[in-house]
Amino acid sequence: MPDDRRSLPERDRGLLWHPYAPLAGPAPYAVEAANGIRLALRAPDGRGFEAIDAMSSWWCMVHGYRNPALDRAVFDQMTRFSHVMFGGLTHEPAVQLAERLRRITPEPLQHVFLADSGSISVEVALKVAIQYQSARGLPERQNFLAFRGGYHGDTFAAMGVSDPVGGMHAEFPGQLAGNVFAPRPPAAMLTAGRLVGDDAALAEWAEEVAVLVARNASRLAGIIVEPVLQGAGGMHIYDPRCLRVLRELADAEGLLLMFDEIATGFGRTGKLFAAEWSSEPVPDSAVSAGAAGPAAAAAVVPDVLCVGKALTGGYLSLAAMLCSAEVAGVISGSRFGALMHGPTFMANPLACAAANASLELLESGDWAGRVAGIQSGLTEGLQAAASLPGVRTVRSLGAVGVVELHQPVDVPAATEAGLAQGVWLRPFRNLVYAMPPYLCSVGDTVEIAAGMVAAAGRVGGP
Ligand SMILES: *Cc1c(COP(=O)(O)O)cnc(C)c1O
């Protein structure tokens, strides 16, 4: 037994690495309990806080903590078996989950690879594209087109398609090279239920991307982007018509179009998948570069889709890569005949059981109504932030609310300000944002907005 009368945060500090934080940085808060939308926290100095988790534990805990249905699903599976290898074996939770994912995603996506985290599903997606091109006799197609300001994970290949500055490409020059970065897509604003962007900005952007693709097509395997909302790369909401531009360019050059919906999937943006926003009508005049057509109706469908984060309702680490029958067919006819990946904890039964229970809750509940309620609460509550000194813009989409500041946030001070209002926030760079659990009532959302307004007042030094 450790003889240690120091507090948990003190024992942690200097021993454990935390995400993107120095070993001896500010001591973390200890979680003593979690229930529904609330965390019971102990500050490093011993003070206790009860706070709404406005982060959903980094965007995944959509049904809240200690959810009875999820608790039961994981426990029941544990009484059968917690894990088995997936080589040569299968099990009910995995098959059921794959069937569910196939049913709720667009029809062309037919085949499922269950990976152990979002980053790994992105790695698998990139491998799929390279194997696909190689099987078509184009082995020189090894690189990818991605957006500036994107985020696709922390493993090397995923980092290599993330924003070159935010992804710290300069820190790892030997590992990350050769990918092509398109400008950040032009912003869109939610107006009367539609995501509206500027036609001229879209046309100019489309022109630039078309040139980039044409110049590099012979070495590109695919295009990978986060549809409509760039998350960790800056909480940027963009014109969904950009997705149609990418679809056209990918088709013209034989590139795979890959959507990373790890953050946006399962209702976060107000649609079950964010790519559904691209079904908005497009004015004839809007898009140049041969992209898009007249008022289109069908949403853009990718060749490859990654989902994660909220997949298990935040209970366990799991992600999935889905691909079209066409892509799977080409890979099946290749030299290996297989997708060359297979982690130890592939299709972990506990994680699959949690995912099945989470998707069942989504399908049987009114997630769309709840997300709409959160959206209106955040939109209204954040109006108070718009006029604060130091605030550049305020925006929201679905269960996502963002206050963008002119200066970087003083994170410890902003955290304290949020906690004083009963809200757990984790701002980054110049962004104070919330991605609340869908469980939040409109009243909870108003509290969250108040916490964000308080946190947004804590701007770092010049
Ligand atoms: C979080 C995230 C990832 C990485 O997922 P991990 O489970 O953290 O590896 C990839 N893409 C997007 C868009 C994400 O938000």
- C-alpha distances (whole Å) from 225 to each of 125, 170, 216, 304, 400 are 12, 21, 17, 11, 19
Binding residues for substrate, as ranges, are 58, 151, 309, 342, 426
Give the residue, out of 152, 268, 312, with the most ligand 1 atoms within 8 A of its beta carbon, to mutate for a pocket test.
152
14 burial (CB, 10 Å; 0-12 / 13-18 / 19+) is exposed
Residue 59 CA, chain-centre distance (Å), reads 8
* Distance (Å, whole) CA 325 – CA 197: 33
Collect all residues with Cβ–Cβ distance below 8 Å to 126 and sequence separation of at least 6: 144, 157, 158, 161, 221, 222, 224, 258
pLDDT for the residue numbered 462:
43
Binding residues for pyridoxal 5'-phosphate, as ranges, are 118-119, 260, 343-344
pLDDT for the residue numbered 335:
87
Token code pair at residue 254: 């034989």
Q: For each of the chain's 462 residues, which pLDDT tens digit applies?
A: 556 788 999 999 999 999 999 998 888 999 999 999 999 999 999 999 999 999 999 999 999 999 999 999 999 999 999 999 999 999 999 999 999 999 999 999 999 999 999 999 999 999 999 999 999 999 999 999 999 999 999 999 999 999 999 888 888 988 888 999 999 999 999 988 899 999 999 999 999 999 999 999 999 999 999 999 999 999 999 999 999 999 999 999 999 999 999 999 999 999 999 999 998 765 554 444 444 444 556 899 999 999 999 999 999 999 999 999 999 999 999 888 999 999 999 999 999 999 999 999 999 999 999 999 999 999 999 999 999 999 999 999 999 999 999 999 999 999 999 999 999 999 999 999 999 999 999 999 999 999 999 999 887 544
Active site residues: 20, 151, 260, 309
Token code pair at residue 454: 């308080």
* Distance (Å, whole) CA 377 – CA 445: 5
pLDDT for the residue numbered 289:
44
pLDDT for the residue numbered 290:
45
**Phi, psi (degrees; rounded to nearest 5) at 442:** -60, -40
Strand order, beta sheet including 30-35 = 30-35, 38-42, 48-53, 423-424
Name residue 391's beta-bridge partners: 405
| Ligand 1 contacts CB of residue 280 (under 6 A) | no
| Ligand 1 contacts CB of residue 265 (under 6 A) | no
| Ligand 1 centroid from CA 228, angstroms | 15
Token code pair at residue 412: 């410890």
**Phi, psi (degrees; rounded to nearest 5) at 294:** -70, 180
Token code pair at residue 442: 């409109």
| Ligand 1 contacts CB of residue 232 (under 6 A) | yes
| Ligand 1 contacts CB of residue 426 (under 6 A) | no
* Distance (Å, whole) CA 58 – CA 60: 6
- C-alpha distances (whole Å) from 334 to each of 143, 162, 222, 413 are 19, 29, 18, 55
| Ligand 1 contacts CB of residue 117 (under 6 A) | yes
Token code pair at residue 411: 């994170």
Look at residue 239 and give its three-state secondary structure. Answer: coil
C-beta separation of 367 from 270 below 8 A: no
* Distance (Å, whole) CA 355 – CA 310: 8
pLDDT for the residue numbered 296:
55
Nearest to 132 by CA among 280, 334, 349: 334
Ligand 1 atom at shortest distance from the alpha carbon of 158: 10
For the entire predicted model, the pTM comes to 0.96
* Distance (Å, whole) CA 4 – CA 354: 35
